[in-house]
Structures are given as C-alpha cells and as structure tokens.
Structure 1
Amino acid sequence: MMDIITDITARRAALTPDRPAFHIVETGEVISFAGLDERSARAATVLADRGVGEGDRVAILCRNRIEFFEALFACAKLGAILTPLNWRMPARELADLLVDCAPTCLLVGHDDRQKAETATQTAPLALIDLESEWPTARKVASRHPGRTAWPGDQPWYLIYTSGTTGRPKGVIQTYRMALVNYVNISQAIGLRDGDATVNFLPLFHTAGINLHTLPVLMAGGLNHLLPGFDAGTVLSLINDGQLDVMLCVPAVYRELSLHPEFGATDLTRLRHWACGGAPMPDVLIETFAARGAIVCNGFGMTETGPTAFLMDRDHALEKIGSVGKPQLLIEARVATPEGEALATGKTGEIQFFGPGLTPGYWQRDGETAKLFTADGWLKSGDLGRFDADGYCYVAGRIKEMYISGGENVYPAEVENVLDEHPAVLESAVTGIADEKWGEVGCAHLILRDGQDVTDNALADWCRERLAGYKIPRHFRRATDFPRTAAGKVQKHLLPLPEATT
C-alpha cells in the first residue's frame, strides 16, 4: 500500500475543503484545506515556470511561515525535492550545502535575504523572495495539474543533519516515510480528526515538519503557525484550549516552566504532551506531572522519519526516563557493533528496521553504506537497553560514552542526577583524558537564577546517588551550551577544563 501516496492536499481539500488547516497566529489569517491546496497548486506553476522539474532541488531559507508548506506541497505535485536550509548557519556553511544539493532556485524570507545573497556570491543562484515575488507570482499563476500519485520511495525533501559531531549530511525523506510517521505518531498519541497543534520548531529540522504538523494536516486538523517559539504565546494557546496535542524539545519545556504565566496556565487543557529531540530530564517531567501534564518521552532520528519510540501515558511516571516502546510500523533492537541482538537488560546500540527508514544520504554512498548493518538494520549511533517489559532506556550517543578506571560511564545517567540538584538548571557531561583513570567526567552546568553551589557539594550530591567512578572530577559553569536545532547539546564544542575560566 505504501508504494503510492495520494496527493495529500488535494485529498484533504476534497474531504474537508472548508475546515481550517493553518492559523497564522501573528496576523489571525486562517487558511482552509481548499485554500492550502489552491496555493500549493499555483505555487507548483510558479516553480515550473522557473525551470523546476521532477528530481530538481528547491532550496528554502526562512523562518516558520505558510509559504514553506506551499513550497513543500508544490514540490510534491511536481516531483521536485524541497531542501530546507538552517538559517542559524553562517553564509559560508550555507554555501557548502547549496553546492551539495545543487538547487534550481532558492526561496528566501526577508530575515535571511542578506545571508542568502552572501551564500550565493561564489555560485550565483536564482533567488525568489517569499515576501514579495512569491505571493505575487502565486496569485496570478494558474493551477498546476500536478501528479496523479506520489511514488512512496521517491525523495520528497532533504533534511540536513544538525552536525553534533561533524559535517551535515542530507538525509533523504520519502513520501513513504511521511505516511509511516503519520501512522506511528497518530496511533501513539491518539490523534483525532480535527485535532489542533502548534508549529514553531525550526522547519529545517524533522520535528518542525513531522511532529506534529504533517500528521495533523493528514488527519484534517489545525496547525497554529508561529514564526518561532514564544513561551507566552504557547502558554496562552494552551490555556485558551486551542491545542490538543503538542511535541516540544526539552529546552522548550524548560522555557515554559520558567515563564511567569506557567503557574497560572491550565496544562490539563492540552490532551497529549510529547517530548523528543533530546533526553528530557526526570526533574522536568516531574515538574509538569505535578501540574497534571504527563509528558511522554520519545526517541527517533531524522533517518527514521522520525517517530520510533514513544512512552505511553499509563507508564510515563512509573518508568520515568524511558522513551517507551517501538511504535507500530518500526522494529527496534539493541545489538553489538556486529549486529548481534543482545538480551534484555544489556546495553548496546539501538538499531531499527521497517518501512519508514531513510534510503540514505544525499550523494553519500559511502556514508549510506555505513548507516546499515549487513542484515539491513539502521544503526542509530545511540546506546540503550530494554527492560523486561519491553521499554527502552537511552544511555546516550556511543561516542559520548567514556571509560573511567575500566568502567563504562553513560553521561545521560550522570546528567539526570545533576539535573535533580535544586541549584542546577541543566547539565552536560563529557569524558576527558586523565592520567590515572584513563578518562574522567567533566560536568558543564547552567545554574538557576540566583543559585550557587560548590564543586564539593555537587560531588557529594552525586556520591549519594552514583557509583564513585561515575562522579565527575571537574565542574564548570556556563550561561548556555552550543546546541543543535533540536536542543541537543553539541558536546564536541564544549570547552575543555583548561580552556575554561
């Protein structure tokens, strides 16, 4: 069934033409499903008139806005490949990505116009301004007939990885992956016909597109569209009962909890809370649970579409720290580097199998080959274990694990303990070289406003809760950490102790 996908906006326009698909919060504009399809079909003509055809790439550099989704579905109607670019990158890095994906044109928003012009200086590229040229051209364009079907295995868009450890790679996202993700996340959160969510996570990241925006659109629901995250606006939408389901990254949950209106917001008006992109500290889950909001931890990758694991509400507090079970259309195992499945309770690499996996990286055959085991399982690069009930616990990236005195140390476990300290807002633990022990832990800390704590007090806190070899030997303070778009800390960019004042 997944070899062919129907035209999503055309089918929704036929099923629920007058129902709202997007609400642009800043302006109050509401776009129906019929309107979304009309805009996308006209946008397809705009792209086709500029030479875009099947297989061509269309780059886009913008904040969250309706024109992104017009372009996404316009590309689907043409068979072109949308390539969202990370507006947080400097022009030099963007120039490298443009060389890698070789787009026919670049759609750009006003906020990033200057950066786009700089990035295209060495390799001139046609720019289409999303504020002026795009809407004007779309309004006068005729409807493009589009394709009668979207092949499931065909690339729809590319998502460049955040680069926590190195150079970004373009992860191919197919139409089949979008459908599988819809099945996986909708059954996991109990997505209902007409549910509403909010879109603010960056659209160059898989969560910005897929969690929960595309599934909600497929279900005939409403997306409240923000140009970026604003804690006050999100809390207001929740308190007004305008949101049913929502996924946030831990950094967003932290900002919500620190906002002055958090205590006055009725969190129970939102039916399902999910978290992904990075590990959610236990203390943060407990903070929301105390207010009646059960946050369900999840785990997935750009390469898995992304939904793979999600905790069920009934066990979210009983098995706090777990990311749940593999969802309906994906299999997961914990295995050795050679691909041998490990027994319950053993820690190894989390690996995936199923119809929703990426076919690979854009023009990186060597990297694609390294992504899969000999028997076809996708290697996540993350360590984890299953308990006796089939729930998975993620221990962190393989490259983050360090060995102290011959014992494996998983930073996520240490970070969870540090995050429970009343003075600590967030921690990031790395392993660094040590003459005696081989490696020891270095804890980088962001303290809560007005709080202070000594290194000895932190060590004592850990000693009461962890084995001796897991206690960090170094503690460093910071005002923030280098992060990816998903809120993951880029640990390779954290300073070494001798470089920190």
Structure 2
Amino acid sequence: MWGLLPDMAAKRAALSPGATAFVEDAGGRVWTFAEIDDAAARMGAGLRALGLAPGDRVAALSFNRVEMFVALFAAQKAGLILVPLNWRLTAEELAEQAEIVAPALLLHDAQHHDAAKALAQGRQIPRAALEGGPRGAADLLATPDPLPPAQVPADRPWYLLFTSGSTGRPQAVVQTAGMGWAAAVNAAQAMDLTAADRTVNYLPLFHTAGVNLFTLPVFLWGGTTRVLPRFDAERLLALLEEGAASVFFGVPSVWHDFAAHVGAARPDWSAIRCASGGAALPERLIRDFAAKGALIRSGYGMTETGPTCFIMQADRVEAKPRAVGRVQALTEVRLDGVPDGAPGEGEVWLRGPAITPGYWEGPDAIRPATDAEGWLRTGDVARRDAEGDHEIVGRLRDMFVSGGENVWPAEIERVLCAHPDVAEAAVIAVPDDRLGEVGHAFVEPRAGHCIAPETLSEWCRARLAGYKVPRGFTEAQSLPRTASGKIRKPALKDWPR
C-alpha cells in the first residue's frame, strides 16, 4: 500500500516541536517532540558509530522508560531493528530469544543489569546502559552529528515482538513502520484521537499493546504520554483521577485489579475513553464499570495484525457487551465460509497494511504469515451479526468434540464469569472414555469471595446445554498467565484436577 513513509519522530517534531510528547512518571521529566526527535537522531548516529549497520538487531531489557521510545525511533532512523526482550523470562528463555535474533547490542536499565550482564556474557553481546555510564545512553545521545531525517521504507523491519510462546518455540513477529501507521489510523478513527489527548504507558513494551495501545497513535497525533515503569494499580488509578489520561487501554487483568481496588470509583471515568483487549473481558465487569461511567470498548487484534483491527463503538457497549465491533479503516476481514458482509460464523481472516510481513528467521529469511492474496488466517472464530458487529467465539484449537457435539470453551467461560463468586475461568478438554472429551473448568475467585464448586455445575446447567457443562471444577487462587495477561491454557493440562 505504501512505499516510503516519513520519519515518525522528525515529522511529529516538525508539526509540534514544543508540545509535550512524554512525561517520565518517575522524576517528572518532560520531553517535547523536538527533544525526542533530537535524542533519537543522536542515538541513531551513536549506534552507527559503534559499528552497527542497517538491519542489525538491538535487544533491550528494560522496564518502560522514555529512553526506550527514543531507542525505538533511533532504530527507525538508523535502519536498525529494536528487539524489546521479556524481562519476566528466565535466563534460559532469554538466551533462546537472543539465539533467534542474534543481537549486535544489548541495551538495559539498572534494574536488569545482572540479567543483561549474564545474557551478554553468555552470547558475547556488547551492552550499554540506558541510564548512562561508559558506552551508555549519555554517550550515545552526546553524538555531535545527529542523523538527518530520511524517508522510511514501509515494509522494512523496524522492531520485533515475540509471541507469548504459550505453545512451542517463541516466534519473532516482524513489525514495520507501515504497520505502525496503519494501527495508529485504526486507533485514531475508532477512539477519536486528537493532539489534545493524553494516555499512560505502563504495559510491557515487549508486547504490541505496550507500543500501540495507545502510545504510538497518541504520539503520531501529537498527544502526550506519561510513562510508568510497569503496572501499578494504585499509581495508575491516582493518575487517572488526576486526569493524566483521556484515552486508556487495559488488558482484562488490569480491569480485574481495578475492580478489586478501593480506589476504583475515584477517577471520572466518563471523561476517559476506555478500551480492553488481549482476551475477553467478562460481561459483568463491563456492566460494573459502565455503572461507574466507564464504557469499556472491547477490541481485537494480534501481534501479527496490530492490536486495533476491531474496536467496539462506545454507544453500543452496553447493548452488545461481548462484541468487538466492526473492522477498522485500514483492515479487511473475511469470515471463512461466510459471504462478505453477511451474518455468519467462521475463522477470522485479516488483510491490510497493519498485517506483518512474517516471522523473523534471519536477516534474509522472513517466513510469510499470509497466503498469496495477503490474508492472514488468525485461528480465531468470530460470529458476525446483521448489523456488522463481530463477537469472538473462540480459538479453533481450543474447540473440542464431546459426544459428537462441538464445544467452544469461550462460551462456557463467559457463563462461569457471570457467577457472582468467579473472577476468571478457563475451560480445557480432558479425555473421557464414553464421550471422547469433556470440559474441565479452572476458576479463579473474586477478591474476598469463596467458590463452592458444587454450585457451579448447577449454574452452568441452568444456562448451557448439558453437553457443554464441565464435568469437573478446580478452584485456583491464581491462573497461569502470559506477560500480556492471557491465561496459559496449555499449562493447565498438567495441573491437578
């Protein structure tokens, strides 16, 4: 769709040089767009001076900080590829990611000094501290001759994001400038972004939500982002109460934590345009927050497609709390086996400039993620209604057959999450001699509540066909999750039942 695109930082600095781009929550430092562009241009030149060439990977092991966005824009200017690493991983898991991307440099913050040192020594990777020190950020930013602005190839790899790795070997998904602009357009038109908007960056930058929901779109539209090192419910609620965000995104676990917090009612939610994604948000939570004034718009996307493919319309949230709305401006959707635009149910296929070119397998080896016509088959099944709104039914690989009937765990999970004592639920298939497979539910109680498992079967039987009712229930105080907050269902296969 696009050939060459503007240098993001340079273009925004040209449009509003003195406006505030970022505020560091720890310390309160304010960065204007001109300062971000200058810092990125100097860091890009400094990285080149270290001997890094276009296409080289720069890994980063750090909590969220403004310098991470400087590094992201520096990589775009210098033709390098930033690789934010998952700081929650073990040393062995980090080494596996490093083996896949073969970084030429490792950036890190003070909190991850030891982990970075061990990773760098194990693979002989040069490293630099983001806080400064020898060959640190201060030296990189002191480069006397910053890189000049230059157009950016839309499909050139810009940064890599690893998928959660919940099954099999992690895959590094290529992200491009074209994807960034497309995701931003989708977000901006769905959330009505303007230069007056404010958001808070706190989700990990090794996930697409950390970059694209809504920090990069707000940056490109000229708004302001306050950066927190990581999720802190108390601090976030305080910032929302202070008016630090006019647009806000939270994964379901964030909304669950907010709901359990005594300060959940403090912000003026009616003044904040809210969204959620990454997994289904229980209908009960959507209605509870709507009563507080927060209309949480559910959305849908993937690391491979950008996170803003679908975002529900705010005025329809209460009428259709399970829907993710309509496909956004720069994304096309097809439901496999369903005529275009018609109601029906099928696997979600997506196409457009927000879709990744593929998976990183080396400098000259990117494995395509799409078919010959550009469609990416997501593996998720959606149902489209007569008004064009979509509801995610579940994952194809999660569906199981019980006594000849197809069973979608997501449907059962929604029913369980409506129970007054249940915060979250995960249903998996387990073998059964007579029926082949049956469901087993793992349920996480709401804060301050106790679950009587024997009542859950009755609850489900009143709301589901008999073949959908789980044959067993296990209470879990904390379900296993990925760093993006999704429940790791494969891990539940080995849990005691």
The TM-score by the shorter chain falls in which range? over 0.9
The separation in 1 between residues aligned to 2:386 and 2:243, in whole angstroms, is 38
Partners of 2:322 and 2:391 within 8 A in 1 = yes
- Report the more deviating stretch, 346-355 or 278-287: 346-355
- Unaligned 5+ residue runs, structure 1? none
CA positional deviation for 1:483: 1.2
Separation in 2 of the partners of 1:367 and 1:442? 39
CA distance in 2, matches of 1:366, 1:80: 16
Could you say which residue in structure 1 is the equivalent of 2:17? 17
1:86 corresponds in structure 2 to 86
Q: Distance in 1 between matches of 2:235 and 2:451?
A: 33
What SS does the corresponding residue of 2:434 show, helix, strand or coil? coil
SS in 2 for 1:306: strand
Partner-residue secondary structure (3-state), 2:292: coil
User: Is 1:97 matched with 2:97?
Assistant: yes
| 8 Å CA contact retained: 2:7, 2:77 | yes
State which of 408, 417, 420 in structure 2 corresponds to 1:419. 417
> Within 5 A, what are the aligned runs for 1:313-462?
313-335=314-336, 344-363=342-361, 368-369=367-368, 371-462=369-460
Give the distance between the partners of 1:11 and 1:329, measured in 2 at CA: 21
1:259 matched to 2:261: yes
Counterpart for residue 184 of structure 1: 186
* SS of residue matched to 2:45: helix
Q: Distance in 1 between matches of 2:150 and 2:412?
A: 53
Structure 1 segments of 4+ aligned residues over 4 angstroms from their partners: 340-345, 364-367
Percent identical across equivalent pairs?
Answer: 43
Contact kept in structure 2, 1:238 and 1:269, CA below 8 Å: no
2:199 to 190, 197, 202: 197
Structure 1 residues 391-447: Cα deviation after superposition (integer angstroms, max 9, x where no partner): 111112111111111111111111111111111111111111111111111110111
Gap change, CA 1:245 and 1:169, over 3 Å in 2: same
CA–CA separation in structure 2 for the residues paired with 1:392 and 1:472: 26
Map residues 264-283 of structure 1 onto 2, 5 A cutoff.
264-270=266-272, 272-283=273-284
2:45 touches 2:146 (CA, 8 Å); kept in 1? yes
**C-alpha contact 1:344 1:385 (8 A) present in aligned 2:** no
Of residues 486, 489, 497 in structure 2, which corresponds to 1:488? 486
> Would you say the 8 A contact 2:250–2:276 is kept in 1?
yes
For the residues of structure 1 that align with 2:480 and 2:165, how far apart are their CA atoms?
12
Cα deviation 1:25-83 (Å, max 9, x = unaligned): 12111111111111111111221121112111111111101111111011111111111
Cα 1:193–1:264 shift into 2, 3 Å: closer
The letter of the residue matching 1:290 is: A
- Equivalent residues of 1:92, 1:119 under 8 A apart: no
Q: Are residue 222 (structure 1) and residue 230 (structure 2) matched?
A: no
Give the superposition deviation at 1:90.
0.7
One-letter code of the match for 2:320? K
Q: Which residue of 1 aligns with 2:126?
A: 126
Instruction: Tell me how far apart the structure 2 counterparts of residues 367 and 351 of structure 1 sit (CA, whole Å).
Output: 20
Alpha-carbon separation, structure 1, partners of 2:27 and 2:219: 20
Q: Look up the SS of the partner of 1:436 in the other structure.
A: coil
Q: Which residue of 1 aligns with 2:116?
A: 116
| Separation (CA, whole Å) in 1 of partners of 2:143 and 2:472 | 62
Moved more, 449-458 or 237-246: 449-458
The SS at the match of 1:261 is coil
1:294 corresponds to which residue?
A: 295
Q: Distance in 1 between matches of 2:86 and 2:103?
A: 15
Give the drift of 1:156.
Answer: 0.7
Which amino acid counterpart does residue 150 of structure 1 have in structure 2?
V
| Uncovered stretches (5+) of structure 2, i.e. residues with no partner | none
CA distance in 2, matches of 1:158, 1:409: 35
Q: Is the 8 A contact 1:382 1:395 kept in 2?
A: yes
For 1:374 and 1:42, locate their aligned partners in 2 and report how far apart those are by CA, in whole Å. Answer: 40
1:37 and 1:387 map into 2 onto residues whose CA distance is 45
CA RMSD of aligned residues (A): 1.8
Name 1:166's counterpart in structure 2.
Answer: 168
CA distance in 2, matches of 1:470, 1:345: 24
TM-score, with length taken from structure 2: 0.96
- State the TM-score, normalizing by the size of structure 1: 0.95
**For the Cα contact (< 8 Å) 1:303–1:357, is it kept in 2?**
yes
Equivalent-residue separation in structure 1 for 2:435 and 2:64 (angstroms): 48
Q: Distance in 2 between matches of 1:460 and 1:70?
A: 55
Quote the offset at 1:237 in angstroms. 1.7
